[in-house]
Amino acid sequence: MAATAEAHPNIAFIKYWGNRNPALNLPANPSLSMNLAALRTVTTVSFDPDLAQDEVEINGERVEGRAYQRVVAHLDRVRALAGRRERARVVSRNDFPTGAGLASSASAFAALTLAAVAAAGLTLSEAALSALARLGSGSAARSIPAGFVEWQTGERHEASFARSIAPPDYWALADVIAIVEQAHKPVTSRQGHQLAPTSPFQEARVATAPARLAACKRALLARDFTALAPILEQDTLMMHAVMMTSTPSLFYWTGETVTIIRAVRCWREGGLPVAFTIDAGPNVHCICPAEVAGEVEGRLWELPGVREVLVSGVGGAARLIEQEPRGAAP
Ligand code: PMV
């Protein structure tokens, strides 16, 4: 009745922004991402017949309000699938800053899905786990499979899941993350997705996303960084153009974000293979071959306003660490 799972957050090379079906998190466009090995969420779910209500603890603190309701809604989905009624205790820990554009909801809902499903005694395929995780947070669908992952939009719930297109050791890329702000973001991505259709640029972004994804996948499978770099940057700038031109306007960047964007472009012109991508926050993910990650990190530390630099390689799939009462998971 208890299970512990770990999952890594992922950084999207082709971004998901906006839903075709907000209730089911069916995305407006397909996306492609890389799991981040150095960052992880570990979550234990214990179903307990003596509990009167679900209890949720994240990073040592009891959670109430909207975050609590999101977890309860997800547990309800698992209870409905398993035909169970017991309430659960959820204890989750992130070993990276929460709410700073590091996609903590992706690893959180991937780990929660896997732990809750196992604790409830269910066995689901990877595709079914990914689709279920998607209902908690869209990008969580991509934190279930290993390595480099593609999430096709899918017309209905069962068809909208992510799958691995290359294992973690396929290409030694690194994400060197420049943290310029650790505070929680003022507008959550959940609210942001709802605003996407208010931007006149969203239609153009969505219409051209499949072509960018195909080009990104080609560059990735060919391990061609020169081809990958401009696609990454164009895709992230298109998403932020949509954000900035939504009503109301969402503006996640700070002055430091722009300084890093300009520096990365300058470094690349000077021969260093590195490209930027940015999620719904001000921090900048610098994607590069692993062999230059130390050089990129050193240069980032020299820029004004960089408070922390995290370096990660390519991560594996979400996995079970422990399961009771059947003993340790394989
Ligand atoms: O899963 P959500 O609702 O937090 O959406 C994530 C959206 C972005 O991180 C901005 C882009 C992406 O594809 O990960």
The Cα-based distances of 29 to 25, 149, 160, 214, 238 in angstroms read 11, 14, 11, 12, 13
Mutate to test the pocket of ligand 1, among 10, 13, 16 (most ligand atoms within 8 A of CB): 16
Q: How far apart are the first and last CA of the chain?
A: 17
Q: Residue 50: is it exposed, middle or buried by C-beta count within 10 angstroms (0-12/13-18/19+)?
A: exposed
Per-residue pLDDT reduced to its tens digit, 68-113: 999 999 999 999 999 999 999 999 999 876 655 565 799 999 999 9
What does the pLDDT read at residue 325?
A: 78
pLDDT at 326: 60
> What CATH number is associated with residue 54?
3.30.230.10
269 in a structural domain:
yes
What's the pTM value of the predicted model, to 2 decimals? 0.95
Q: Could you give the percent of the chain with pLDDT greater than 70?
A: 96
Q: How far apart are CA 300 and CA 204, in angstroms?
A: 33
- The CATH number of whichever domain residue 229 belongs to comes to 3.30.70.890
Assigned token pair, 151: 């999430």
For ligand 1, the distance from its centroid to the CA atom of residue 86, given in whole angstroms, is: 31
Asked whether residue 147 falls in the same domain as residue 291, the answer is: no
The residue from 169, 201, 221 where one domain ends is 169
Do 185 and 260 lie in one domain? The reply is yes
| Parent domain of 34 | 2-169
Give the chain's domain count.
2
57 within a domain of the structure (yes/no):
yes
Task: Find the mean pLDDT for residues 314-329.
Answer: 82
Average pLDDT over residues 280-288: 95
Could you tell me if 98 and 41 lie in one domain? yes
Distance between Cα 239 and ligand 1 center (Å): 10
Report the separation in Å between the CA atom of 306 and the middle of ligand 1, taken as the mean of its atom positions.
23
- Determine the residue of 41, 112, 139, 287 to mutate for testing ligand 1's pocket, defined as the one with the most ligand atoms within 8 A of the Cβ atom: 139
Q: Is the CB of 31 under 6 A from ligand 1?
A: yes
Check residue 183 and give its pLDDT. 72
The answer to whether position 324 is within a domain reads no
Encoded tokens for 134? 């998607």
pLDDT for residue 101: 52
Whether the per-residue pLDDT at 187 is higher than 90: the answer is no
**pLDDT score for 330:** 45
Tokens of 283: 């921090």
Ligand 1 centroid from CA 105, angstroms: 9
- Which atom of ligand 1 is nearest to 16's Cα? 13
Mean pLDDT computed over 238-264: 97
Q: Compute, in angstroms, the gap from residue 22 CA to the centroid of ligand 1.
A: 13
Task: Name the percent of the chain lying above pLDDT 90.
Answer: 89
Same structural domain, 289 and 306: yes
Question: 103: Cβ below 6 Å to ligand 1?
Answer: yes
What is the overall mean pLDDT for the chain? 94
Asked if residue 178 and residue 164 are part of one domain, the reply reads: no
61, pLDDT greater than 80: yes
Q: How far is the CA of 116 from the centre of ligand 1 (A)?
A: 22
DSSP designation for 9: -
Q: What is the pLDDT of residue 95?
A: 87
Same domain, 178 and 163: no
Residues 27 and 161 in one domain: yes
Residue 322 domain-assigned (yes or no):
no
Asked if residue 230 and residue 162 are part of one domain, the reply reads: no
Longest dimension (CA), the chain: 63
Does position 139 have pLDDT exceeding 80, yes or no? yes
Same domain? 158 vs 220: no
- The last residue of one of the domains, among 135, 169, 203, is 169
